Structure 1
Amino acid sequence: MTPVTGTSTESAGELDDLTPEQLAAQWEEEKPPAAGALANAASSLVVLGVGAGAAVLAILMGVGTPDKPQPGLWPFIISCVMVALGLFQLIAGRHNRDAEKFTRMSGAPLTGLVTLAAMVALMPLIGFELPALALCIIWMRFLGGETWRSTLVVSAAVVISFYAIFVLALQTSIPHLF
């Protein structure tokens, strides 16, 4: 049997030789420390706040009715789900032992949210192509740790595909440069 070393330099073949129990033990050793009740409550309150804020913005956009929906209907429904899940996590999640302690990588979702908001803000001004390309590059290279080559190839392919689908094929009114 191959010993469980917990190093990231193991080859794929060595990982294939591990039993499920050994793999589970290795994952248990490598996982970040568990968060406490305060971190669980804080993350629940963040979800509640974002959900409540999104619900207010959705109402301001206009919700409409199921037979005559307005632009805020689906954002309102999703924000209500967020509020419900945040409340559930706040009440029932205090004893959750799977939650991870906040680390340096805990900022990655915030970075993703900020870059997504920047893309949405820039789209009406300069079209979707450049903001979408920048978003893909940031997410893949800096948040995902991909190589520059795969980042650039996949990012370009995503933007070209979206352009082909939404601008050329479907002829939507999405803002675009070309």
Structure 2
Amino acid sequence: MIPKLAILRRSGLLTLALGVFFLYQSLKLELGSWNEPGPGLWPLLLSLLVLTASFVLLIGNSEGGAGSEKKPFAALLRDSRLPLAAIASLVLFIVLSRYAGLTLAGGIMLLAWLRLLGKEKWTTSIVVAAGLTALCHVLFAVALQVPLPEDWLLALWSAGR
């Protein structure tokens, strides 16, 4: 069995590699300005956040001297598969949102995060995911009138009326 410290180190190194990759890719895009952000601004900020988290993982879980206590960061990460599952669900969200729209992709991602990552009950997960998805649609599409990409789920909802 692999020691927990080795698993945490590997998770930190994997997260560091992903952060560097996303940082490199985001710098290929136009950053724009704060008033008119380009397509690379948010990926840049998110990659910096991922890099910061990876440094916290690597530094917070480094071995101390002889007789050192467990680091508090190790308690935050009970299962090293959780960050990988979160990243995989974000990739699935990005791919699914292009083809099915933000409503369905967001609902599925919220359901997965609540049920699989948050260990919530199915009923709680379904109700919260559906409610937050509806709230986001009402807030952004209706109240703020943000133009969103075409959405299959909303097209089916509108056709049934």
Measured in 2, the distance between the counterparts of 1:67 and 1:158 equals 28
| Farther-moved stretch of structure 1 (87-96 vs 152-161) | 87-96
Correspondence for 1:131: 105
Does the C-alpha gap of structure 1 residues 166 and 145 become closer, same or farther in structure 2, counting only changes over 3 Å? same
Aligned match of 1:52 in 17, 20, 23? Answer: 20
Gapped runs of 5+ residues in structure 2? 65-69, 155-161
Gapped runs of 5+ residues in structure 1? 1-33
Aligned match of 1:76 in 25, 29, 44? Answer: 44
Contact 1:167 1:174 in 2 (8 A): yes
Contact 1:62 1:70 in 2 (8 A): yes
Measured in 1, the distance between the counterparts of 2:94 and 2:16 equals 22
Aligned match of 2:130 in 156, 159, 175? Answer: 156
Identity of aligned residues (%): 25
TM-score, normalized by length of structure 1? 0.65
2:86 aligned with 1:118: no
| Farther-moved stretch of structure 1 (57-66 vs 136-145) | 57-66
The amino acid of 1:35's aligned partner reads K
Measured in 2, the distance between the counterparts of 1:82 and 1:52 equals 9
2:4 aligned with 1:35: yes
Q: Tell me how large the CA RMSD over aligned residues is.
A: 2.8
The amino acid of 1:73's aligned partner reads L
Does the C-alpha gap of structure 1 residues 135 and 69 become closer, same or farther in structure 2, counting only changes over 3 Å? closer
Does the C-alpha gap of structure 1 residues 70 and 140 become closer, same or farther in structure 2, counting only changes over 3 Å? same
The structure that has the greater radius of gyration is: 1
SS at match of 2:80: helix
Aligned match of 2:63 in 84, 95, 104? Answer: 95
Measured in 1, the distance between the counterparts of 2:47 and 2:94 equals 18
Aligned residues: 142
Kindly state the Cα deviation for residue 60 of structure 1 after the two structures are TM-superposed. 2.0
